[in-house]
Amino acid sequence: MKVAVVGATGLVGSKVLQVLAERNFPVTEIIPVASERSVGKEIDFKGKKYKVVGMEEGIAAKPALAIFSAGGGTSLEWAPKFAEAGITVIDNSSSWRMDPTKKLVVPEINADVLTREDKIIANPNCSTIQMVVALNPLHKKYKITRIVVSTYQSVTGTGKKAVDQLRAEREKEVKGVHGEYTMAYTYPIDLNAIPQIDVFLENGYTREEMKMVNETKKIMRDDSIRLTATTVRIPVMGGHSESVNVEFENEYDIDHVKELLRNAPGVVLVDDPATQKYPMPMHAHEKDEVFAGRLRRDETQPKTLNMWVVSDNLRKGAATNTVQIAEYLLAKNLLENPINFEANSSIGTRG
């Protein structure tokens, strides 16, 4: 079947193409779509060259599925036009996530909400995805009442411009090179930590922090969960890390928590302080799983757990999650042009 990737030349779009190929998604033709300045360029998919086309041509090609990774403005303008043409859209921007008429999906948790009528499906924020994948099995067993999360987020979450800034600053520091480069951030990122991701809102939190608050409730289908977040950009490129303090309604057993995480779909437990084993971005890089570790009881209040969660933000935080949604749609025959498909995904497996 035909699959369009909108924003195919960007960081996330390129990763979507990589993940589609790796997971042997049943593609007969890739339609790479991008802005006018990229039209005519070529991208490679499974050893074959495809020319980048514009939006109108992407719709005219009549793909069964369009994966959008092109920013909020583009999504707001073009996703409805693709949907009106009968094309199912899975969107990576924040444009549709909190729209009450659109589904916000992490397949391990709530893929069951999807129907054939859903033509625009929202992919959650990367930092939200990895946290809820790790917390959902614990919520089902012990019921989460409150979450305090601090994130340590990769520059890849900002995009190529930020990656270029970090590399240029690192080269300048290490080699004394003083070349010109464009700043993605207001401040240097190398040898620094910036406690701002996205713009500040009237309540003093950033938009990224409030995304985590609102999206978590929607995905986990529980508005009673209280959540507060602090999101920080750090000079790494392997993935996002999160320090999560979670309070339960019911008492928990730490050994049982570990067992739940060992058996949770999409989660890998890395928790052995005696041998200094715990999740790190360098180990999560180019992997699809969410890694959890540093599990320990909060000794300051009852029924509360501390944990550390790491995942590759370009994969599970974006590309892999969208492809898993697509795999689910195919497996459940929820697309306009259904085909025979044996799901090759980690949904409900150890993946």
Task: Name the residues annotated as catalytic.
Answer: 126, 240
Residue 185 to residues 170, 181, 189, 194, 199, Cα–Cα distance (Å): 15, 12, 7, 9, 12
Beta bridge partners of 311: 240
Instruction: Please measure the distance between the N-terminal and C-terminal CA atoms of the chain and give it in whole angstroms.
Output: 24
- Give dist(CA 251, CA 257) in Å, integer: 11
- Give dist(CA 228, CA 242) in Å, integer: 13
Residue of 103, 46, 92, 100 whose CA lies nearest to 66:
92
Token pair 């042009």 is at which residue?
337
- Give dist(CA 91, CA 80) in Å, integer: 11
Q: What is the DSSP string of 29-70?
A: EEEEE--GGGTT-EEEETTEEEE-B-HHHHHHT--SEEEE-S
Residue of 328, 164, 304, 153 whose CA lies nearest to 242:
153
Give yes or no for a contact between 36 and 54, defined as CB atoms under 8 angstroms apart. Answer: yes
Residue 19 to residues 16, 64, 79, 166, 275, Cα–Cα distance (Å): 5, 18, 22, 25, 33
Give Cβ neighbours of residue 185 (< 8 Å, ≥ 6 apart): 158, 162, 165, 194, 233
- Give dist(CA 194, CA 49) in Å, integer: 40
Q: Is the sign of the CA dihedral 98, 102, 108, 109 positive or negative?
A: positive
